[in-house]
Amino acid sequence: MAVFTAVEALNMALQIEKNGEAFYEAAARKVQDGEIRAVMEDLAVQERRHYKAFQKLTDRVGEPPTLSAPEWEEYDEYVQIALENALFAGPDKALAMADQVQTAEDALRMALGFEKDTLIFFYDLREMMPADEQDIVTQIIGEEKAHVRRLARLLSKRA
């Protein structure tokens, strides 16, 4: 069975942050509501900051173990399935989702779904990290929770 290492998980986290940034920037351009546009722009900035934090972690956790060909194929299949089923499975999907934004509420709902998916992933990621590195992921989890609360409050105000 393939081992899902911290390095691979961090690489996925980097992609998640990049995809989120692409969505938030595109959604900000589509949303007419100034308050929601500002929130989308702010979330894009925070995604860039998280990307940099994960990039630093990637440099510190070391190289993944060498996998045999069958283990690599199993691992690669797992990663592809995980990424394909993610809300924003790539910059193209993130931009396609942003293209579907018609209203501020659409942007908020999509963003809330993305942040919830991200939280689940980061909880799993934290468990794969060495104990002395978990605090950084815990801090980002706290920020992602704040994103969920912020988006949920904005959405409930509009209901």
Domain boundaries defined on the chain? 6-158
Q: What is the mean pLDDT of the chain?
A: 81
Residues whose CB falls within 8 Å of the CB of residue 104, separated by 6 or more in sequence, listed in order: 31, 32, 33, 36, 158
Let me know: does 61 contact 129? Beta carbons within 8 Å. yes
* Residue 1 pLDDT exceeds 50: no
Q: What is the pLDDT of residues 81-93, one digit of tens each?
A: 665 665 555 567 7
Q: Which of 59-63, 78-82, 99-103, 104-108 has the highest mean pLDDT?
A: 104-108
Tokens representing 64? 């993944």
Give this prediction's pTM: 0.77
Q: What is the mean pLDDT of residues 131-147?
A: 85
Domain 6-158 has CATH 3.30.470.20: no
Let me know: does 73 contact 126? Beta carbons within 8 Å. no
The percent of residues above 90 in pLDDT, for the chain, comes to 33
Q: What is the mean pLDDT of residues 26-47?
A: 94
